[in-house]
Amino acid sequence: MDWWKDAIIYQIYPRSFQDSNGDGVGDIPGIISRLDHLQELGVDAIWLSPVYQSPNADNGYDISDYREINPEYGTMEDMEELIAQAKSRGIRILMDLVINHTSTDHYWFRQSRDRTSPYADYYYWSHGGPDGTLPNNWTGFFGEDCWEFDPQRCEYYLHLFAKSQADLNYHNPAVLEEVKDILRFWLDKGVAGFRCDVINILWKDSLDSSKKKLSLTGSEHYLTLEGTHDILRQLRAILDEYGAFTVGEAVCVTPETARALCGRDRHELDMVFSFEHMDCDQYKVKWIKRKFRPKVFFDCLTRWQRELDWNALYLENHDQPRSIPRFGSVRYWKESGKLLATLLLTLRGTPFLYQGQEIGMLDFDFQRIRQLNDVESKNVDRLLRRFHVPQKLRWRIISRTSRDNARTPFQWTAERGAGFSDARPWLGINHNCERINLAAQEEDPRSVWSWYKDLAALRREREVLRRGEFVPMEAAPPLFAYRRRLGEEQLTVLLNFSDDPTRVSVQGSLLRSNYPRERFEGVLQPWEAVILE
């Protein structure tokens, strides 16, 4: 029961994990060849970012066929082989379920351009106002208008993300039936469940204009509405037939709305990815960065730990810059990398690790917008240009926030190509690859990689780390302190988010420290993480 409560889940971004055929693009056979790495790390399941057929405007989050594998990544046989090979190592596969929108290359959308087709109402189509004004004033997630005119149908369609990602219309019951079939298709193949992309915005209650906001104007018409809850309950019924698991990506949720999506009694999702802790180094929108505020970060984590019975824990994914420069310190790269690992693996919930995090990969080191691939970065660049923002400032904004920060190829070795590919990779390899790579860390018992392995094993060993309650402790930032408690058992976690030593008055016998020490006497070194028994 509830295997996911004991699990550590690893996210693979297929394009950047391992290339097997020398075309510079990661692929499924590449993933199969690296399953031993994941087994050694102690991973129980893989969340696979999209591998479906897609024109790749948003690297697979724009799906043109849910039942086909993108030929760049391999074949359906490769996919079945991956499911089987993973299974033989005790690793489950979770697919990325992107059902808020499809690619405009999808058969449904192409048919939908014809008003007389059975697919006519699969998407949100609307006339604009007179004089060519848009149907409403909403703004999308990638910072631009979210209506695009289709010359064939002579109407606009809604796209909350890129132009080629058209939002599906769930007011048409046929759409949900299609989605149910897709679910069955993959569950029959033996996948264990789904990570559900932007799952709390499926239902739009109306297409009315609304009050202008700094970002996401119009979002009150689609954020976590009853219609979405209803869809999720219908999907749950199918998932239950298979005993399948779901984690939903839920944008703009509060603990309260998150509970409504994943509370046990709700029969919707098993857990959600929330975003609030990702806001601690930004001002209102992700494009405006500010100094990381540890207190806000700790308070936020504590609140979510308290208010939800179970959290999906993460510090990185394919949409976020890397965690060390953000919440840790590049100067104390190794120490802070291990401290963040300790945080992730000792909170209550299911930890999700993103590829490369286990070796402390850092943000990209590109110099020019041309080197980027991310559709979001390109859109934002265009938008900033329109507002005459000078190039230097544009680059400053984009380089710090681009999703490509975390999408550079995995650094397996110090060689040219990083052991990722012999060919020119689809996205640049970070120059720090000579220093930061798996090969260099494998034999080193003090490496970030060894620390992740060790903590994953500790979490497996100690039920208190998995199932115990979270008990916050009084501590002054930059110290974060909490206990995990299960019956008589209790562990104390002390994390010093600082370049300076910090004194604490907590006692206990030392179970782990990311510094070489025998016992703990009350002073934490810079970025030291300590677990006391």
Catalytic residue among 197, 276, 316, 374: 197
Contacted by 319, from Ca ion, ligand ISL, none: CB < 5 to 8 Å by type:
ligand ISL
> At its nearest, how many Å lie between ligand ISL and the CB of residue 96?
8
Nearer to ligand ISL, 63 or 83 (CB): 63
197 belongs to the catalytic site:
yes
Catalytic residue among 72, 78, 178, 249: 249
- Interface residues with ligand ISL (CB under 6 A) are 58, 61, 98, 141, 161, 197-198, 249, 251, 286, 318-320, 403
* Longest Cα–Cα distance in the chain: 76
Q: Using CB atoms within 10 Å of the CB of residue 209, give its burial: 0 to 12 exposed, 13 to 18 middle, 19+ buried.
A: middle
Q: In whole angstroms, what is the distance from residue 214 CA to residue 334 CA? A: 37
Size of the site for Ca ion (CB under 5 A): 5
- Report the chain's terminal Cα–Cα distance, integer Å: 28
Contacted by 21, from ligand ISL, Ca ion, none: CB < 5 to 8 Å by type:
Ca ion
Which residue's CB atom is positioned nearest to ligand ISL? 61
Which residue's CB atom is positioned nearest to Ca ion? 27
Nearer to Ca ion, 29 or 526 (CB): 29
Residues 6+ apart with CB under 8 A from 142: 161, 162, 375, 376, 379, 380
> At its nearest, how many Å lie between Ca ion and the CB of residue 26?
6
Q: Quick one: how many helices (H) and strands (E) in the chain? A: 15, 24
Of 62, 238, 177, the C-alpha closest to 246 is 238
> At its nearest, how many Å lie between ligand ISL and the CB of residue 163?
12
Are 198 and 251 within 8 A, CB to CB?
Answer: yes
Q: Interacting stretch for Ca ion, rule CB under 5 A, among 20-28, 322-330, 340-348, 398-406? A: 20-28
Nearer to ligand ISL, 65 or 442 (CB): 65
Q: Using CB atoms within 10 Å of the CB of residue 482, give its burial: 0 to 12 exposed, 13 to 18 middle, 19+ buried.
A: buried
CA distances from 527 to 31, 165, 218, 335, 523 (A): 33, 42, 42, 6, 11
Q: Interacting stretch for Ca ion, rule CB under 5 A, among 14-22, 111-119, 234-242, 395-403? A: 14-22
Nearer to ligand ISL, 123 or 332 (CB): 123
Q: Which of 12, 25, 79, 97 binds Ca ion (CB under 5 A)?
A: 25
Contacted by 27, from ligand ISL, Ca ion, none: CB < 5 to 8 Å by type:
Ca ion
- The alpha carbon of residue 411 and the mean position of all alpha carbons in its chain are separated, in whole angstroms, by 19
In the β-sheet with 155-158, what is the strand arrangement from edge to edge? 125-126, 155-158, 147-150
Nearer to ligand ISL, 50 or 478 (CB): 50
Q: Which amino acid is at 98?
A: V
Q: In whole angstroms, what is the distance from residue 527 CA to residue 479 CA? A: 9
Q: What is the per-residue binding string for Ca ion in 27-46, x denoting contact by CB under 5 A?
A: x-------------------
Contacted by 300, from Ca ion, ligand ISL, none: CB < 5 to 8 Å by type:
none
Q: In whole angstroms, what is the distance from residue 381 CA to residue 375 CA? A: 10
What DSSP state is assigned to residue 163? T
Contacted by 411, from Ca ion, ligand ISL, none: CB < 5 to 8 Å by type:
none
Cα dihedral value 323, 12, 286, 201, nearest 10: -140
Contacted by 43, from ligand ISL, Ca ion, none: CB < 5 to 8 Å by type:
none
Q: In whole angstroms, what is the distance from residue 323 CA to residue 213 CA? A: 29
DSSP strand E in 85-238: where? Answer: 92-97, 101-103, 125-126, 147-150, 155-158, 165-167, 193-196
Q: Return the sign of the alpha-carbon dihedral for residues 266, 186, 97, 13.
A: positive
Contacted by 298, from Ca ion, ligand ISL, none: CB < 5 to 8 Å by type:
none
81 belongs to the catalytic site:
no
Nearer to ligand ISL, 286 or 512 (CB): 286
Nearer to ligand ISL, 197 or 363 (CB): 197
> At its nearest, how many Å lie between ligand ISL and the CB of residue 465?
28
Q: Which of 7, 11, 14, 19 binds Ca ion (CB under 5 A)?
A: 19
Contacted by 61, from Ca ion, ligand ISL, none: CB < 5 to 8 Å by type:
ligand ISL
Nearer to ligand ISL, 91 or 98 (CB): 98
Q: In whole angstroms, what is the distance from residue 410 CA to residue 420 CA? A: 6
Q: Which of 5, 21, 81, 153 binds Ca ion (CB under 5 A)?
A: 21
Q: In whole angstroms, what is the distance from residue 96 CA to residue 391 CA? A: 36
Instruction: Check residue 380 for interaction with Ca ion (CB under 5 A).
Output: no
Per CB under 5 A, residues contacting Ca ion are 19, 21, 23, 25, 27
The catalytic residue positions are: 197, 249
